[in-house]
Amino acid sequence: MKLVLPETLRAQIVDAARAAHPAESCGLVIGTRAGDDGAAASLHPARNLASRTDRFEIDPADHFAALKAARASSLSVIGCYHSHPNGVAQPSATDLAGAGEEGFFWLIAAGGDVAAFFYFTGRLTGADLVTSSS
């Protein structure tokens, strides 16, 4: 399981996390999939509807807009991203409880780091995150 993420998109995730602090930032990852591997092409920032600052809930209207944008570019929504403002770039029990889409990448930002995970058979497993210059 590998996700190729352009450095500019990684920086956007880190910047969004800093801007949203102390709340969690969130959004969707648009790109392509080949088996268990993915390549991110763009990000679709989303409004966080969660009432608690240590949770995220992607606005359904933003999710729908991301699906439309992906389809218009012949791409797919391949994952999501969010931040852990005062935590670590590891899935929490709440993250796992909220996951459910097989083969979906989860990117978590914390303290300037971004880590990737892959949801499969009820688990969020670490995925290789490969940053690229494009």
Q: What is the CATH number of the domain that holds 128?
A: 3.40.140.10
Domain count, the chain: 1
Summarised one tens digit per residue, pLDDT across range 11-34 is 999 999 999 999 999 999 999 999
Over 80: is that where the pLDDT of 64 sits?
yes
Do the domain assignments include residue 2?
no
Range of the domain at 42: 20-132
- The mean pLDDT of the chain is 95
Tell me how far apart the alpha carbons of residues 55 and 61 are, in angstroms, rounded to a whole number. Answer: 18
Do the domain assignments include residue 11?
no
Summarised one tens digit per residue, pLDDT across range 69-98 is 999 999 999 999 999 998 899 999 999 999
Residue with tokens 């392509």: 32
Tokens of 18: 């800093």
Tell me how far apart the alpha carbons of residues 87 and 76 are, in angstroms, rounded to a whole number. Answer: 29
Q: Is the peptide bond before 22 cis (omega within 30 degrees of 0)?
A: yes
